[in-house]
Amino acid sequence: MSFKSLEDLRAACLDLPAGSDAAAGAVARRQDTLTKPRGSLGRLETIAAWLGRWQGREMPKLDTVKVFVFAGNHGVTAQGVSAYPSEVTVQMVANFAGGGAAINQLARIAGAKLDVIPLDLDHPTGDFTQVPAMDEQAFLAAVSAGYDAVSKDLDLVCFGEMGIGNTTPAAAISAALFGGGAEKWTGRGTGVDDAGLIRKITAIEAGLKRHADSLSDPLKIAAALGGRELAAIFGATLAARRNNIPVLLDGFVCTAAVAPLARLHPTGLAHTIAAHVSAESGHRRLLEALGLPPLLDLGMRLGEGSGACLAVNIVRSALECHAKMASFAEAGVSDK
C-alpha cells in the first residue's frame, strides 16, 4: 500500500480489526480442561489466547514466523549523540547478510526467517535539531515500505531495527508523546559517556522546541523526530494489525516507533506483546506508559529484534502446551 497523505495514513490507523473474541474464548476454555490447576501456566495461557484472537484460530499455529530488521541512518548523529559513526549501520547490514550478528543466531534457534530491509542508507534523515527528520512524502514512503513488507500469510512477526543514533529519535518521540522532558527519556544508547549523554539531551530538547507546532499530532511527531526505520516499523505494525497477525515488539526504539499508533487508536497495540524490557533507561517508562508488561528482563540493549526473537521461543512453548497437553478426561486425571 502506498499512503498518499497523512490523512490517508490516519484513516488506516483508525480502521483496525478487533480480533476474534470467539477464537480467544475457545482457547481459554481449552486451557481450563488441561491437566493443570487453572491459570497455573500464567502468561503462557494468555499468550495462547492472544495468538488465537489475532490469528482467528481456535488452534493457533506458528508455521511461518518472520523477523524484520529495518535499517536507517540519522542526521542527528551530527550532534555527537552516538559512540559509533553512522557508517556502522551499513557495515552491520552486511554483517546480517553474512550471518554474523546476534539476530542471525536467535532467528535460527527460534525457527524464524530473517528479512533485513535497508532504507536509503546513503541519505540520512534530516538533523531534527535544524529541520524535520523527514518531510511528509519521505515519512509516508518509509511507512509504506514497512507496510508492504508484511505479507498476509505470516503467523507471527518480530520487528527490529539497526540505525546508529536511533535511541535519540526514540527518546524524542517518547518525550513528545508522553511529556516529561528530554532527560526523563534519554539513556546512553550505544554507550556514550557523560558528555555524550548531555549532547543527546540537548539535541532532543532542541528538536522538541523546533518542532513544537507538530507535537499535538502523533504522525507529525513521528515524521519530524523519527527515522526511516522507525517509520517502517510503524507501517509494518499497522499492516500486521490490519492482516490479523500478532506482533512481538523488541526494545526501546521499536516500542517508540509504534507508540504513535497507541495514541491514534485506543487499542492500537492490542495485537502486540512487549517481548522484553531493555536496559535503555527510557524503555521501562515507555512500556508502563503504553500498558505493555514485558515478557523478559535480561538487561539486553542490542536492538536488531534480538529480544523479540528470543521471545518467539516462549510463544512456541505456550502453543506447544496448549496444543499437546492432555485434558483431564483424556489423561484419566480427576478434576476438582
SS3 call for 162: strand
> Residues with Cβ < 8 Å from 105, sequence gap 6 or more?
none
Residue type, 327: S
Q: Which of 161, 229, 304, 320 is catalytic?
A: 304
Task: Note if 205 is an active site residue.
Answer: no
Give the phi and the psi of residue 57 in degrees, each rounded to 5: -125, 135
Cell of 220: 507529525
Nearest to 147 by CA among 269, 17, 3: 3
Inter-axis angle of helices 6-14 and 228-242, to 10 degrees? 40
Residue 246 DSSP class: -
Kindly write down the DSSP assignment for every residue of 58-84, as one continuous string.
SS---S-EEEEEEE---GGGGGS--SS
Cell of 325: 497437553
Give the phi and the psi of residue 158 in degrees, each rounded to 5: -120, 140
Residues involved in catalysis: 304
